[in-house]
Amino acid sequence: MTDDEVLMRAIQAGDSHAYNSAVRQHIKPLSHYAFRMLGNSKDTEDIVQETLLRLWTHAQSWKPDKAGVSTWLHRIAHNLCIDYLRKDKSSVSSELSEDLESSDKPAQAPEREERLEALREALNALPERQRSAIILSHYQGFSNREIAEVMGITVDALESILARARRGLRAQLSE
């Protein structure tokens, strides 16, 4: 039995300590994903809270043969983000995250900030599925197979989406 299976079996049995452990393990990557999808802290917190609530209330629906816990949780967060974006397109903002603001070279901070803002705008301009695929791949570090599972598509379809997203980003950033 994998660590994911042990943890989830404990959560399915109602072990709050196992749940707290899972929350500590997954809250930061889920927050980073949701922030990159939504662009603001308030909505990110709502999505992450709902995702982690579903970890507790829908633990029985996790299937170890289908996906790892992180992949399963990212799929939940992905679906919540997509639903939210479809409901309220005006919610995407350019609020900065703390991890993107820090720089090892303060003299380059203004130039770096301009590049980050241009990248954020280019990402926000992508269609939802393309944005999600790029974020899951480049920021979250998921494999193509895991991303396809999160997004509920085939690996071939994902590779096509990623190619279109990269072309779109290049076009946006070259302007």
CATH for 110: 1.10.10.10
Residue 105: half-sphere exposure toward Cβ, Cα within 13 Å? 6
Mean pLDDT for 134-163 is 93
The boundaries of the domain holding residue 152 are 104-175
Of 112 and 26, which is predicted with more confidence? Answer: 26
For helices 16-38 and 3-12, angle between their N-to-C axes, nearest 10 degrees: 110
**Number of domains, the chain:** 2
pLDDT at 108: 56
Angle at 141 between CA 156 and CA 50, to 5 degrees: 95
Are residues 127 and 81 both part of a single domain?
no
Q: Which amino acid is located at 77 in the chain? A: A
Residue 115 has pLDDT above 90, yes or no: no
* Domain C-terminal end among 41, 56, 90: 90
Which tens digits make up the pLDDT trace of 40-89?
A: 888 999 999 999 999 999 999 999 888 899 999 999 999 999 999 888 65
105's tokens = 């070279």
* Domain C-terminal end among 59, 90, 121: 90
128 belongs to a structural domain: yes
Q: How far apart are CA 112 and CA 115, in angstroms?
A: 5
**What is the pTM (predicted TM-score) of this model?**
0.73
Are residues 10 and 81 both part of a single domain?
yes
